[in-house]
Amino acid sequence: MFDLIALDADDTLWHNENAYYLARERFRSLMEKYQVNGSVDACADHLEVANLDVYGYGVMSFVLSLIEAGLELTGGEMRGEDVRELLDLGKAMLGAEVTLYQTTEEVVSRLSDAYTLMVITKGDLLHQRNKVLRSGLGDYFGYVEELSHKRPKDYAEILKRHAVEPHRFLMVGNSMRSDILPVVEIGGWAIHVPSEKIWAHEAAELPDHLQERVFQAESLGEVPGLIEKLEESLISNL
Ligand SMILES: [Mg+2]
């Protein structure tokens, strides 16, 4: 039934968001020694989202946004040593070990026995590529797609390139906005596996008419069983 199953990477196959939380905590404490104009979190939140169109997603965009927020909050008074600390924080995030979820390897191994698998991720190209390499999961995936955005047209373009019809495509991911909604909007299927932490920007409302194409899993470990059931029900409805 499915010709292609794709999985998101960050906070679907491995931990990711926690590093951003810790970096934001560090940024808040760096700002404590300054007289800041306005709310530290509101300023950083605003710039992170506003800069997506300029830098795209990922660690580098995040760090540049924190430096910009620091300069704005302190009226240009942020010290060089604090800029340096933010840059070092970014480098540490880019070089960090990839920590898989407990069931990740078992799940992708099981799925790869029956399906062609693809990773579809967004962020810094080099970083995402390195994470797939470091994860040790590369052999399970037939394809890796690194995108700067995950919009309906980005998924449609991938499916066209791989000659896969949308109704024979299933995407698994933690972000309603990036992994689920754009896929079902173009006629695909999706399994939403919510992560413990998620950036508020990744939330989205699923319209009623698309709900029948989206299935909920509590954890990645449930995904293979859910796909089997979905296959059975789709075949019996043919
Ligand atoms: Mg994700």
pLDDT tens for the chain, 238 residues long, are 899 999 999 999 999 999 999 999 999 999 999 999 999 999 999 999 999 999 999 999 999 999 999 999 999 999 999 999 999 999 999 999 999 999 999 999 999 999 999 999 998 899 999 999 999 999 999 999 999 899 999 999 999 999 999 999 999 999 999 999 999 999 999 999 999 888 888 888 899 999 999 999 999 999 999 999 999 988 887 6
User: Rounded to the nearest whole angstrom, what is the distance from the C-alpha of residue 94 to the centroid of ligand 1?
Assistant: 16
User: Rounded to the nearest whole angstrom, what is the distance from the C-alpha of residue 76 to the centroid of ligand 1?
Assistant: 34
Q: What tokens were used for 11?
A: 């906070």
Predicted pLDDT of residue 44 = 98
Dihedral over Cα of 19, 24, 27, 32: its sign: negative
User: Rounded to the nearest whole angstrom, what is the distance from the C-alpha of residue 69 to the centroid of ligand 1?
Assistant: 24
Helix axis angle, 17-31 to 40-50, nearest 10°:
130
User: Rounded to the nearest whole angstrom, what is the distance from the C-alpha of residue 120 to the centroid of ligand 1?
Assistant: 9
Short-list 22, 17, 7, CA closest to 200: 17
Residues of the chain with CATH 3.40.50.1000: 4-15+98-236
- Which numeric CATH code is attached to 17-95? 1.10.150.240
User: Rounded to the nearest whole angstrom, what is the distance from the C-alpha of residue 35 to the centroid of ligand 1?
Assistant: 35
User: Rounded to the nearest whole angstrom, what is the distance from the C-alpha of residue 179 to the centroid of ligand 1?
Assistant: 7
C-alpha 153/C-alpha 182 separation (Å) is 8
pTM reported for the whole predicted model: 0.92
Amino acid at 166: P
C-alpha 9/C-alpha 119 separation (Å) is 7
Q: Which residues pair with 169 in a beta bridge?
A: 4
Q: Whose structure tokens read 């949308």?
A: 166
Indicate the fold that domain 4-15+98-236 takes in CATH. Rossmann fold (3.40.50)
Amino acid at 83: V
Show the DSSP H helices in the chain as ranges. 17-31, 40-50, 52-55, 59-73, 80-95, 104-114, 125-135, 152-161, 181-185, 223-236
User: Rounded to the nearest whole angstrom, what is the distance from the C-alpha of residue 73 to the centroid of ligand 1?
Assistant: 30
User: Rounded to the nearest whole angstrom, what is the distance from the C-alpha of residue 154 to the centroid of ligand 1?
Assistant: 16
Predicted pLDDT of residue 20 = 95
Dihedral over Cα of 224, 226, 232, 234: its sign: negative
Amino acid at 179: D
Residues of the chain with CATH 1.10.150.240: 17-95
Predicted pLDDT of residue 238 = 67
Predicted pLDDT of residue 198 = 83
Predicted pLDDT of residue 201 = 87
